[in-house]
Amino acid sequence: MLDSLFKPRAVAVIGASSKELAIGNRVIRNLIDFGYKGGIYPINPKADEIRGIKAYKSILDVPEEVDVVHMVIPAKFVPMAVDDCGKKGVKHIIINSGGFSEIGPEGAAIEADFLERAKKHGIRIFGPNCQGIINTDPEYRAYCNFTFTYPEPGHISIVALSGGVAEVIHQEFSIMGVGTKIYASNGNACDITIPELIEYLGNDDGTRVIVTYVEGLRDPETFKRVATEVAVKKPVLAMKAGRTKEGAKAAASHTGGLAKEDIATDLIFKKAGIVSFNTEAELIQAAVAFATQPIPKGNRVGIITNTGGPAVIATDVLVGRGLTLPPLSANTETYLKEHLYPEASVHNPADVLATGNASHYRACLDAMMDDDNFDSIYISFVTPFFVDNVAIAKEIVAVNQKQIKPMVCNLMTNREQQAETVKILKDGGVPCFSLPGAAASALAGLVEYQQIQSREKGVVKTFTDTDKAGAEAIIGTAKATGRTMLAADEVYGILNAYNIPTADWRMADTAEAAERAAAEIGYPVVVKADAQSVIHKSDMGGVAVNLTDGAAVRAAVGKMEKTLKADDLRFFIQKFEPGGVEVIFGAKAEEGLGHIIMFGLGGIYVEIMKDVVFNLTPVSDAEAVEMISAVKGAALLEGVRGQKGVDRDGLAEIVQRLSQLVSDLPAIQEMDLNPVMASEDGIIAVDARISL
Ligand code: ADP
Ligand code: MG
């Protein structure tokens, strides 16, 4: 239980220092200055007191029970000190010192050593090589951290391995005058992990929103499970670094190349219901809104403004992020015509004019809060010298305190001249932003959470008409011969074992056999070269389509024999299945996480168009349907300009069958089906490859 870490009754500092600039001094100063409610115990064999507080030679001399110990001593002394803490019955140790796994094997050995001792004593370790924690709860005011910003109590909690990023985010809240609840930055995280912290914050009543920053997930499966549970209860906002890095992995199949690097983390965020952001600014803006606002019921926003342009900027951002601006209801319109100036614009956005006063803002707020057309309210508020801005602020606060629908405010003002207005809004819990884009982005964050949480999760279907054992046998044979690329008959054998529809096919070693196979299948047919060295067949002259008779088949085989010259060359004869839209399906194994599943518009242009979407196994029915409609060219599948749409249920079924196939057969490293011919009558795969 992490309670005693965040609510310690007493804190000792092993490595307490009299030197003003030492961490062992700063931590004590922070505890004192922040008003920590428990006992503070500097441990130092040489000093009598530090910062006016009695020091002890050993942790064992401390007269009180100690819940948290800071260690600010060289790495090599840490294991012994952990043993002392064990004797003392300490519950948590925050190791601020570095010199552990982050420096290499030597440090890692010390880390393993102290961790083993800590486990024996039942001590939990926070860090090492970390900042520590802060809890602003007035009952504790625990500033067990060496940073330098004292936050106001609030409802946002921050967790991150990286102290640098955590502090940047924390600083920004402080600059904006927004309080935080708990701050935790755990550095090497050798024991207490990010998922464990998120789980704790999920149960912390004072935390309304959790903010996290991720550089890569160590235990993606646990992160996903915990985040999924917590995100249902309260918003978890995240951002990940390195999002723009495009995978330049040379891969034999398309899926690897099309999946941008570490796409898995984004997919985990999505699957877990985490709201993720591309920039720290957007993350911070949303957190500020979540800290005081209720969650909207939908994406429809009403805008109130006393100035034109900024509301236009906001509208662009809001609509760009998926919000809509419905018209005012008839009631609202009538009400506002009675209550606003005659020249005011009674629409959405509602413009009360620069001369609009407190009663005008109030009329708009009341009407929109009451109007079923709106789920949230965006306020654009510039503070002209000729109106009573304080009075306007008071009305906004009065409505905000009812917490009926969320609101954000773009407050455009001079913060010194209008200090009272600013303070009223801040104390009244109105999330204020000086830029319209920022206020709009904050509101968009609220809506995104609502949309994510209300989306249909669906169920993961298990198809029973499959032959797992048969597919496993095929893979076993390939493995036994040391091949990583499966031969065509093996690939199609596996697809057929999972009832993924494929064009009728045969294998042939000779021109005569190829002709016999073609006759069995029925013309027209396609002949394809099959050999370990032939990967992109059409590039190498290994595909001959629309062959209508035996002579054409023999000629195609003869030509391939001449040009390809592979010892293991065989021929794959397949029914020619023209027409329809060419789509692609793919799967790629992801360490510790199952497989990534891909769907997109395929064919030979797939690398150029890159119109593909991804998800993680297991893909539910609802997720599969969502994937099919999420490609940019979805309209092509729905049918355009008189063309019939394709069998989209069939496509969604293949996504699910593929998800089951790779889940059943974890040895599959990468596979893709490209193209799959999709038409209104059905779906047929005409090319596929699988690597182990
Ligand atoms: P590769 O991807 O190795 O170059 P494919 O088997 O995908 O080879 O063939 C290349 C292209 O030929 C496909 O994208 C498709 O347009 C066409 N094609 C292949 N097989 C068939 C088929 N059975 N019916 C119709 N067109 C096909
Ligand atoms: Mg292909």
Residue 258 has pLDDT above 60, yes or no: no
What dihedral do alpha carbons 592, 593, 594, 600 form, nearest 10°? Answer: -140
Atom of ligand 1 nearest to the CA of 689: 3
Probe target for ligand 1 pocket from 687, 689, 690, with the most ligand atoms within 8 Å of CB: 687
Please state which of the ranges 358-362, 382-386, 550-554, 578-582 shows the lowest mean pLDDT: 578-582
pLDDT in tens, 432-481: 999 999 999 999 999 999 999 998 889 999 999 999 999 999 999 999 99
Atom of ligand 1 nearest to the CA of 602: 14
Tell me what pLDDT residue 506 has.
95
Say which ligand is closest to the CA of 605.
1
User: Ligand 2 centre from 674 Cα, in Å?
Assistant: 4
Nearest CA owner, ligand 1 atom 20: 686
Say which ligand is closest to the CA of 542.
1
Probe target for ligand 1 pocket from 255, 505, 528, 543, with the most ligand atoms within 8 Å of CB: 543
Ligand 1 environment, Cβ below 6 A: 503, 526, 528, 536-538, 543, 545, 574, 576-578, 582, 603-604, 675, 686-687
Q: How far apart are the first and last CA of the chain?
A: 42
User: Ligand 2 centre from 408 Cα, in Å?
Assistant: 50
365 near 377, Cβ under 8 Å?
yes
User: Ligand 1 centre from 602 Cα, in Å?
Assistant: 11
Percentage above 90 pLDDT, the chain: 85
More confident residue, 253 or 365: 365
Say which ligand is closest to the CA of 572.
1
So where are the chain's domains? 1-130, 147-291, 294-454, 458-501+578-692, 504-576
Atom of ligand 1 nearest to the CA of 687: 6
pLDDT band at 242; cut points 50, 70, 90: low
Mean pLDDT value across the chain? 93
pLDDT band at 217; cut points 50, 70, 90: confident
Instruction: Report d(CA 558, CA 529) in Å as an integer.
Output: 11
Residue 592 has pLDDT above 60, yes or no: yes
Nearest CA owner, ligand 1 atom 4: 538
Probe target for ligand 1 pocket from 486, 535, 545, with the most ligand atoms within 8 Å of CB: 545
> 592 — alpha (psi -120 to 50), left (phi > 0) or beta?
left
User: Ligand 2 centre from 254 Cα, in Å?
Assistant: 9
Nearest CA owner, ligand 1 atom 22: 576
Residue whose structure tokens are 């929103």? 209
CATH number of 504-576: 3.30.1490.20
Sheet holding 132-135: strands in order across?
Answer: 142-145, 132-135, 180-185, 153-160, 209-214, 236-240, 275-277
Strand boundaries in 473-560, DSSP class E? 505-508, 525-530, 543-547
Kindly state the average pLDDT of the residues 160-173: 91
User: Ligand 2 centre from 531 Cα, in Å?
Assistant: 15
Kindly state the average pLDDT of the residues 589-594: 87
Nearest CA owner, ligand 1 atom 23: 576
User: Ligand 1 centre from 605 Cα, in Å?
Assistant: 12
Please state which of the ranges 84-98, 195-209, 246-260, 519-533 shows the lowest mean pLDDT: 246-260
Residue 404 has pLDDT above 50, yes or no: yes
Residue 606 has pLDDT above 90, yes or no: no
Tell me what pLDDT residue 622 has.
97
- What is the CATH topology of the domain spanning 1-130? Rossmann fold (3.40.50)
Residue whose structure tokens are 């625990």? 142
More confident residue, 578 or 84: 84
291 near 156, Cβ under 8 Å?
yes
Tell me what pLDDT residue 641 has.
76
User: Ligand 1 centre from 675 Cα, in Å?
Assistant: 6
pLDDT in tens, 23-42: 999 999 999 999 999 999 99
User: Ligand 1 centre from 363 Cα, in Å?
Assistant: 65
More confident residue, 538 or 356: 356
Kindly state the average pLDDT of the residues 249-256: 38
Tell me what pLDDT residue 211 has.
97
CA triplet 129, 131, 137: central angle to 5 degrees? Answer: 145
Kindly state the average pLDDT of the residues 355-365: 98
Nearest Cα to 83, choosing from 50, 109, 53, 58? 58
Tell me what pLDDT residue 402 has.
97
95 near 130, Cβ under 8 Å?
yes
pTM of structure = 0.89
Superfamily holding 147-291:
Succinyl-CoA synthetase domains (3.40.50.261)
User: Ligand 2 centre from 672 Cα, in Å?
Assistant: 9
Say which ligand is closest to the CA of 531.
1
pLDDT in tens, 129-157: 999 999 999 999 999 999 999 999 999 99
Say which ligand is closest to the CA of 547.
1
Nearest CA owner, ligand 1 atom 19: 686
Residue 565 has pLDDT above 90, yes or no: no
More confident residue, 532 or 409: 409
Residue 617 has pLDDT above 50, yes or no: yes
User: Ligand 1 centre from 502 Cα, in Å?
Assistant: 12
Nearest Cα to 608, choosing from 258, 294, 118? 258
Atom of ligand 1 nearest to the CA of 574: 23
pLDDT band at 252; cut points 50, 70, 90: very low
Q: Which amino acid is at 69?
A: V
Atom of ligand 1 nearest to the CA of 578: 25
Kindly state the average pLDDT of the residues 669-690: 94
677 near 579, Cβ under 8 Å?
yes
Dihedral sign for Cα atoms in the order 547, 550, 551, 554: positive
Which CATH number applies to 458-501+578-692: 3.40.50.1010, 2.40.30.10, 3.40.50.970, 3.30.470.20?
3.30.470.20
Give me the phi and psi of 160, to 5 degrees please: -165, 145
Kindly state the average pLDDT of the residues 298-321: 96
Six-digit token pair at 251?
């891969």
User: Ligand 2 centre from 165 Cα, in Å?
Assistant: 44
CATH class of residue range 294-454: alpha beta
pLDDT band at 608; cut points 50, 70, 90: confident
Say which ligand is closest to the CA of 582.
1
Q: Do domains 294-454 and 504-576 have the same CATH topology?
A: no
Give me the phi and psi of 27, to 5 degrees please: -60, -40
Residue 591 is classified by DSSP as T
Nearest CA owner, ligand 1 atom 5: 687
| CB neighbours of residue 116 within 10 Å | 11
pLDDT band at 247; cut points 50, 70, 90: very low
User: Ligand 1 centre from 527 Cα, in Å?
Assistant: 10
Say which ligand is closest to the CA of 529.
1
